[in-house]
């Protein structure tokens, strides 16, 4: 039976609690409270597939609260109805517009705007329905590229949203990998739903372990530590002059991610910072 835990925090504390809870929670949903006594603050909802270890959860909350400069919230777990809770949580989400992209679920009946590149992505058991700031940063970075990549890889693809955005924008083939077999299944399903089956190739890989080719654009929207650990592998699979779009980390982790990729032979191009989260664009020297 699924469980949930909710807390209300200021906007600058949202990414801290997201990061602190992400290893335990099956999903973390956030939204701005516009009415009532907490208007202007944010609700963070952590959803767990089964009852979590309370001591570990208290420890995670305590660490996050200390980083955010807040009091540790009282832990009040609540049982949820035994339904497809992730899908149910996302049904109320409106469409999202990021740069040239319009991301929506099948519950949206209106036609997508004619001037946008539409991506239909439903809630599923793979991360990446477009609502997170890191996805926004990556899509904006793709929009702002100063060249058209010819060979693209999405590492840790989750739902496949970034790979699909490239394929639909340029109508070119794209490769995607993820360590989680469920993500591989969901990404393939999403590509088919968006008419990209012939352009989309996805397979299971632990980082770059099952990747052989070189690419002139690599997306990697995961977490800071694996990004740092895999920086040499990324550089080895990036063509000379190729670009990496990196995200999944907080602004205060940005310098360590950047440092690891500079050491691997990449140079800094630009950054995007959205609500406490960072996206870096790095280029491999020619």
Tell me, what CATH number does 211's domain have?
3.40.50.150
**147 lies in the same domain as 235:** yes
243-280 tens-digit pLDDT = 999 998 888 889 999 999 999 999 999 999 988 889 99
163-217 tens-digit pLDDT = 999 999 999 999 999 988 888 998 999 999 999 999 999 999 999 999 999 999 9
Residue-level pLDDT at 11: 84
Query: What contacts 24+ positions apart, CB below 8 Å, involve 49-54?
Result: 49/2, 50/1, 50/2, 50/3, 51/1, 51/3, 51/77, 52/3, 52/24, 52/25, 52/77, 53/24
- Find the range with the poorest average confidence among 17-21, 113-117, 208-212, 260-264: 17-21
- Residue 139 has a CB neighbour count (10 Å cut-off) of 29
**161 lies in the same domain as 237:** yes
- Radius of gyration over alpha carbons of the chain, in Å? 19
**259 lies in the same domain as 150:** yes
**169 lies in the same domain as 277:** yes
pLDDT class for 109, splitting at 50, 70, 90?
A: confident
CATH number (domain holding residue 15): 3.30.70
18 is in which domain, residue-wise?
3-84
Residue-level pLDDT at 45: 86
pLDDT of residue 26 exceeding 80, the answer is: no
Residue-level pLDDT at 68: 87
Mean pLDDT across 124-142: 73
CB 25 within 8 A of CB 46: yes
pLDDT of residue 218 exceeding 70, the answer is: yes
Residue-level pLDDT at 29: 77
Q: Is 247 part of any domain? A: yes
Q: Are strands 78-79 and 277-284 parallel, antiparallel or unpaired?
A: unpaired
Mean pLDDT across 71-87: 74
> What share of the chain has pLDDT > 70, as a percent?
92
> What share of the chain has pLDDT > 90, as a percent?
50
Mean pLDDT across 114-120: 90
**164 lies in the same domain as 242:** yes
Q: How far apart are CA 122 and CA 196, in angstroms?
A: 16
Give the C-alpha distances (Å, rounded to integers) separating 124 from 85, 86, 91, 159. 10, 7, 11, 8
Residue-level pLDDT at 148: 95
- The pTM score is 0.75
The residue written with tokens 């372990």 in the block is: 209
Mean pLDDT across 148-173: 95
Q: How far apart are CA 49 and CA 26, in angstroms?
A: 6
Q: Is 10 part of any domain? A: yes
Residue-level pLDDT at 20: 84
pLDDT class for 131, splitting at 50, 70, 90?
A: low
Phi, psi of 169 (to 5 degrees): -70, -45
Q: Is 125 part of any domain? A: no
Average pLDDT of the chain to the nearest whole number: 87
Mean pLDDT across 225-234: 94
Q: Is 216 part of any domain? A: yes
Residue-level pLDDT at 83: 53
């Amino acid at each position: 039976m699924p469980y949930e835990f909710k807390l209300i925090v200021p906007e600058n504390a949202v990414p801290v609690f997201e990061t602190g809870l992400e290893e335990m929670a099956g999903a973390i949903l956030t939204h701005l409270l516009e009415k009532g006594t907490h208007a202007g603050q944010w609700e963070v909802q952590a959803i767990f597939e089964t009852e979590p270890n309370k001591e570990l959860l208290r420890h995670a909350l305590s660490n996050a609260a200390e980083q955010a400069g807040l009091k540790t919230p009282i832990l009040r777990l609540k049982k949820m109805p035994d339904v497809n809770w992730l899908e149910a949580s996302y049904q109320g989400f409106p469409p999202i517009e990021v740069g040239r992209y319009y991301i929506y679920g099948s519950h949206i009946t209106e036609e997508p705007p004619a001037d946008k590149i539409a991506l239909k992505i439903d809630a599923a058991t793979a991360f990446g329905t477009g609502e997170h700031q890191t996805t926004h940063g990556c899509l904006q970075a793709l929009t702002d590229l100063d060249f058209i990549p010819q060979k693209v890889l999405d590492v840790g693809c989750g739902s496949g949203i970034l790979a699909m955005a490239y394929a639909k924008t340029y109508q070119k083939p794209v490769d995607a990998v993820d360590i989680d077999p469920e993500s591989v299944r969901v990404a393939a399903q999403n590509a088919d739903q968006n008419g990209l089956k012939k352009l989309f190739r996805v397979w299971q890989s632990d980082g770059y372990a099952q990747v052989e080719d070189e690419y002139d654009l690599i997306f990697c929207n995961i977490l800071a530590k694996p990004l740092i650990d895999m920086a040499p592998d990324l550089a080895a699979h990036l063509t000379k002059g190729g670009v990496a779009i990196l995200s999944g980390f907080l602004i205060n982790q940005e310098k360590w991610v950047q440092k690891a990729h500079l050491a691997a032979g990449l140079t800094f191009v630009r950054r995007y910072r959205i609500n406490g989260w960072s996206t870096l664009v790095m280029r491999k020297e020619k």
